[in-house]
Every structure is written in C-alpha cells, then in structure tokens.
Amino acid sequence: MVSYKVFKSKRLIIRPTLEGDAELIYQLMNTDNFIKYVGDRQIDSISSAENYIKLKMLPQLEAKGYSNYTLINAINGSKIGICGLYDRSGIEGIDVGFGILPKFEGLGYAYESASRIIKAAFEEFKIEELKAITDQKNIASQNLLKKLGFELNGKIVLPNEDDELFLFRFKKFR
C-alpha cells in the first residue's frame, strides 16, 4: 500500500480519510449545518459513507497524494471532523474545505486544521493558489476563511447545483 502524508498541529493528527472513518463521515454529513451549508450527500448509513469514501475521496488521494483528511484529537484519539484539499469539478484549482462535528465547533479546530493543510498545500504539495467556497449565508465559514488569509473573489455556481456560492482565493506569498 502507498504511504500518504500525515500532518500534526498543536492538538491534532491530520491523516487521510480512509474507509475506517465511515462513522465520522456518516455523522458529519448528516449534521444540520453540513446539510444546510454544504448539501445533502445522501449518506444514510455507515455503509453508504464507506462507499462515499471509496468513490469520492480515495481516488483523488491516489491520483494526487492529497484529498480529505480526518482530524483526530492528539491526546485522546477522538475523531472531531475533516479538512482537505479538493480537486472539485467546477472550480479551477484546488479548493480547501472543512467540517467539524457540532460538539467540537467553536474550539478552533477548523482554523488549526485548515492552517496546517494550507501550509502543506504550499510546502509539501507545491500548490501555488488555493480556492474555497462557502454558502452565502454561512457567516462563520466566511469569517474563518478571511482569518486564514483568503479574499473574496466573486461568486460561483457548481455543476449540477442551483445555489450561488461565494468563491474565495488565497495566493502563496512569494
């Protein structure tokens, strides 16, 4: 099996999402905020979450060496959310995204993980520019993106979607 990069931050182990993370994906993608702001991915069981990981996450990981990452509390091993670098249809370039289980929201994990993933994007994966999208009503996500250094760059509608999203971008400093 190919070995993929694992990252660490002050409180987190950030490793590629694998089939064994299906319960986390099932829980996260069925939270009210995920459905409201990201969309209903029709993940109705742990088995369908496993399939989602196989079909949507692992192919990009195998092709590019990065994809979705599971966020693990470095002290107690609990899985708290996801963060990743996505080669998303309809977006030119690589998109940063994140999602935290409700009981861990507001504790700085999204900022901590996204900061580390951004650093990896530029230093490890040699990506020159990152994008991010968010629902226009998701003020918390917009504020986090701005805090991370992203700038609003316009609006976008993704393929097979109806909602117009805010598009942010972040360029590597030279």
Note the pLDDT of residue 17. Answer: 98
In a domain, 88, yes or no: yes
In a domain, 157, yes or no: no
In a domain, 144, yes or no: no
Give the three-class secondary structure for 148: helix
Using a cut of 0.85, tell me whether the model's pTM lies above it: yes
DSSP per-residue letters across 3-22? ----EE-SSEEEEE--GGGH
In a domain, 156, yes or no: no
In a domain, 141, yes or no: no
State the Cα–Cα distance between residues 19 and 31, nearest whole angstrom. 20
The CATH number that applies at residue 28 is 3.40.630.30
Residue range(s) defining the domain that contains residue 19: 7-129
Predicted confidence (pLDDT) per residue in 89-131, tens digit = 999 999 999 999 999 999 999 999 999 999 999 999 999 999 9
In a domain, 150, yes or no: no
Q: What's the CA angle centered on 61, arms 129 and 22, to 5 degrees?
A: 120
Predicted confidence (pLDDT) per residue in 155-168, tens digit = 999 998 889 999 99
Q: Who contacts 106 (Cβ-Cβ below 8 Å, separation ≥6)? A: none
In a domain, 172, yes or no: no
Predicted confidence (pLDDT) per residue in 15-53, tens digit = 999 999 999 999 999 999 999 999 889 999 999 999 999
Per the structure, the count of domains in the chain is 1
CB atoms within 10 A of CB 71: 31
Question: What tokens were used for 94?
Answer: 């690589």
In a domain, 20, yes or no: yes
